[in-house]
Amino acid sequence: MKALRQIFQEIRDFVYGAGNAVFFLGEVLKFILRGRIRWSDVFGQMYEQGVQSLFIIALTSFASGAVLALQGAVMLNRFGAKEYVAQLVALSLVRELSPVFSSFIFSGKAGARMTAELGTMNVNDQIVATRTMGVDPIQFLIVPRMLACFLVLPILIVFSELVGMWGGFCVGVYDAGIPAAFYYNQTLDAIGYVDFFSGFIKTVFFGLIIGWICCYQGYVTRGGSLGVGKYTTKAVAFSYILVVISNTVLTKIILTFWK
């Protein structure tokens, strides 16, 4: 019975937390739709989040493109189709790999940072002090961070795609022996508007999800310094799970209506 009560308690806490998270998102959207946005803070957050994630996204994207080209050259060469390496790399990065992998990295870097910042403010009663001074903490602290996530992640994804294709280009030309001009033309021919926007649309949702989850977990952090670590870990884990689930749903929807 004790184990059963514990299971019901966990389910109840999850449902209660999910409901609070939805109301929290509604409060944030209310400020955004009313135009009550501190744009100077938004641009500051965009700079911090973008710079913080830029190097590691570039590194992993270049490596991903290079590995795709290495594996693709070996596999396609068995069928005498090595010239399609450029298309394999470009389409894989643009449609799936760059949006998903870069969102993971962004969540682990910028998202965790946001949760830790807000959580530290919360356990030190700084958020309560903000409300006491007559300033709404959601408008002052949450809206700039969430809006920055929503705006900066698509930019980082496009950067990731370019760097990844450059990594594939280096391997394809200098290791697989594909002529540079041919590889370049094949890459351009492979990517259409549907391919680019099918991946780009996902990043808009990913940015909203990461900003929402990480800001909410920071906003409700309890339990002192140990609580900051606990809620930061939860924020990153939930972001990963929701990105994977939403990617599956969005991919199905996009492929159904827009192939």
Q: Where are the domains of the chain?
A: 39-257
pLDDT at 25 > cutoff 80: yes
- Look at residues 240, 206, 230 and name the one whose alpha carbon lies nearest to residue 115: 230
- pLDDT above 90: residue 163: yes
Q: How confident is the model at residue 184 (pLDDT cuts 50, 70, 90)?
A: confident
- How many CB atoms within 10 Å of residue 208? 19
| pLDDT reading at 1 higher than 70 | no
DSSP string, 192-232: -HHHHHHHHHHHHHHHHHHHHHHHHHHHT--SHHHHHHHHH
DSSP annotation of 36: -
Angle (deg, nearest 10), helices 112-123 and 143-174: 150
In the prediction, which pLDDT does 130 show?
Answer: 79
C-alpha count within 13 angstroms, C-beta hemisphere, residue 241: 8
Q: Is 176 helix (H, G, I), strand (E, B) or coil?
A: coil
Q: Is pLDDT at 216 greater than 70 in this prediction?
A: yes
**Token pair for residue 220?**
């409700």
Structure tokens, 174: 């200098």
Quick one: pLDDT band at residue 17, thresholds 50, 70, 90? confident
Average confidence score pLDDT of the chain: 86
Q: Is 0.85 surpassed by the pTM of this model? A: yes
Mean pLDDT of 130-141: 81
pLDDT average, residue stretch 239-246: 93
How far apart, in whole angstroms, are the C-alpha atoms of residue 136 and residue 148? 18
Which positions ≥6 away from 258 have C-beta within 8 Å? 194, 198
Cα–Cα distance, 59 to 247 (Å, whole number): 23
Q: At what angle do helices 85-92 and 143-174 cross, to 10 degrees?
A: 170
CA distances from 128 to 118, 135, 136, 137 (A): 12, 10, 10, 8
Average of per-residue pLDDT across 139-144: 88
Q: Is the pLDDT of residue 61 over 70?
A: yes
